[in-house]
Amino acid sequence: MKILIVDDEFVSRMTLQNLLASLYECTTVENGEDALKAALSDNPPDLILLDILMPGIDGFEVCTRLKAASQTKDIPVIFLSANTEVEDKTRGINLGAVDYITKPFHKAEVKARVQAHLSIKKMQEDLREKNITLERQVDEIKEKTEQLREKDLQLIEMDRVAGIGTLAAGIAHEINNPLGFLKSTLGALHKNVGKMREALMYWEDKPAKDPLVLGYLEHVASTGLYRVVDSMDEKFDRAGRGMMRIMDIVNSLKRFSGIDMEPLTKIDINKNITELLKFVVKQKEKKIEIVTQFQKIPLIECAPYEINQCLLQLLKNALDALDNDGTITITTECHCKDNLIVIRIVDNGHGMSSEVLRQAFNPFFTTKPVGSGTGVGLSLTERIIKRYGGMIQLESTAGLGTTATIKLPVPTQE
């Protein structure tokens, strides 16, 4: 290791050089200017023994400049002086020196202090290198962790999409088959009831003198059979409307999940939101007012189940933010100049704190109780929206509510 000895006294320089030359590479200079040049050279010293009282730049000024320069601030400086005043020692330490040796020198003391501070410097350098290595390893771990999270999100998204498609297909199959059977059965019953009415009307046109006919007509009248038959048309009509409602729900679910659609197709966001509201809003359980303010907007090309998944997540979040009552306002508009469709879902629920809002899009972050939320809904929503070149923003104030804004690009008309 290299030591720079700075002293204007020849005897002091030679004494220190002879003392340390057998252990270290020693260079000597006799003034502050040469000391700064040596320290700032391409081969700087590992430690500097610096006299205080020298002509020109004194040791205190040299130390100050050394500690101010980035190239030399970490080189340990040991002051040399015949002055034993506490003020000088304190000043030297405050300027950044690591030690203070008084003249005349004690050989064993000089060797011990030099060796100690060189050892400390070596340990500090080793520690810095290990810290750099550790920081690099931490960065690598963070990068790998993010890669694993990204893969987890992709798997979860694929699983959700597949699950929705499977569920919708199963529901469509399980409901459509018995629904078709029920529809045909009700049609046959309706026809048979018409025949029953014709049979009853047949006896009304016959003379009721025959005791058997008279008894039959009296019995039919007492049972209210005419009234029952007359009310059957209304009952069949109600049953038909109920079946149409079931078919409409099944078709809405199929449209939501993308069944029977191409992977990419043009959709009307307004219609999609209307369909979704049939599934997520249970107004009988909560006194929730849904306000829709739809403007006429252009169609967008996308995979319907993906956009529906995003809208569904935001609608469910808005519902969860409300207790027993509240209002959800859904607006759509077109920013024609920017070629953007803007969708806003606003609730007046309990809102989020700034800390929660800051982490809202982080994968696996959730404020819901254990088991009731995975914390990936908003992360997946953000991924899907960005995939289509759009963006999603959240604005929220604790106790006042939340506004979720989606902006999706509209292809320019050529």
Q: Residue 284: is its pLDDT beyond 50?
A: no
Q: Which residues contact 99 (CB under 8 A, 6 or more apart)?
A: 76, 78, 79, 113, 117
Confidence of residue 210 (pLDDT cuts 50, 70, 90): low
Confidence of residue 2 (pLDDT cuts 50, 70, 90): very high
Distance CA 352, CA 329 (A): 18
Q: Which residues contact 225 (CB under 8 A, 6 or more apart)?
A: 200
Instruction: Tell me the pLDDT tens digit for each residue of 224-246.
Output: 776 777 777 788 888 888 887 77
3-state secondary structure of 391: strand
Instruction: Tell me the pLDDT tens digit for each residue of 258-267.
Output: 555 456 788 8
Distance CA 354, CA 364 (A): 18
Residue scoring higher pLDDT (337 or 346): 346
3-state secondary structure of 327: strand
| Predicted pLDDT at 396 | 92
Instruction: Tell me the pLDDT tens digit for each residue of 62-80.
Output: 999 999 998 999 999 999 8
Distance CA 351, CA 320 (A): 10
Say whether domain 265-409 belongs to CATH 3.30.565.10: yes
Instruction: Tell me the pLDDT tens digit for each residue of 17-63.
Output: 999 998 999 999 999 999 999 999 989 999 999 999 898 899 999 99
At the topology level, CATH places domain 2-105 in Rossmann fold (3.40.50)
Instruction: Tell me the pLDDT tens digit for each residue of 189-204.
Output: 878 777 777 776 666 6
CA-to-CA dists, residue 159 to 146, 152, 212, 375, angstroms: 20, 10, 72, 15
Q: How is the chain split into domains, by residue range?
A: 2-105, 156-257, 265-409
Q: Kindly state the tokens that stand for 288.
A: 């929730």
Q: Kindly state the tokens that stand for 179.
A: 């629904």
Q: What is the DSSP letter of 22?
A: T
Q: Kindly state the tokens that stand for 84.
A: 């034993």
Distance CA 77, CA 402 (A): 60
The phi and psi torsions of 42 (rounded to 5 degrees) equal -70, -15
Lowest mean pLDDT among 129-143, 296-310, 325-339: 296-310
Distance CA 172, CA 159 (A): 20
Q: Residue 257: is its pLDDT beyond 70?
A: no
| Predicted pLDDT at 33 | 93
| Predicted pLDDT at 39 | 92
Mean pLDDT of the chain: 82
For residue 317, the surrounding DSSP H or E stretch is helix 304-320
Place of tokens 């290595």: 133
Whether residue 338 contacts residue 383, with contact meaning beta carbons closer than 8 Å, is answered with: no
| Predicted pLDDT at 165 | 57
| Predicted pLDDT at 283 | 47
Residue scoring higher pLDDT (114 or 230): 114
Most confident of 145-159, 214-228, 229-243, 300-314: 300-314
Q: Kindly state the tokens that stand for 164.
A: 């929705």
Distance CA 60, CA 44 (A): 19
Q: What is the DSSP letter of 413?
A: P
Distance CA 101, CA 79 (A): 6
The C-alpha angle 246, 251, 252, rounded to 5 degrees, equals 95
Q: Residue 282: is its pLDDT beyond 60?
A: no
Whether residue 392 contacts residue 317, with contact meaning beta carbons closer than 8 Å, is answered with: no
Strands (E), 7-93: 25-29, 47-51, 77-81
The full 3-state SS of 160-229, as one line of letters, equals: HHHHHHHHHHHHHHHHHHHHHHHHHHHHHHHHHHHHHHHHHHHHHCCCCCCHHHHHHHHHHHHHCHHHHH
Q: Residue 150: is its pLDDT beyond 80?
A: no
> CATH topology of 2-105 equal to that of 265-409?
no
Distance CA 214, CA 208 (A): 5
Distance CA 275, CA 82 (A): 92
Residue scoring higher pLDDT (226 or 390): 390
Distance CA 23, CA 312 (A): 76
Q: Looking at residues 360-379, what average pLDDT do you find?
A: 66
The phi and psi torsions of 19 (rounded to 5 degrees) equal -70, -35
In DSSP terms, which residues pair with 245 in a beta bridge? none
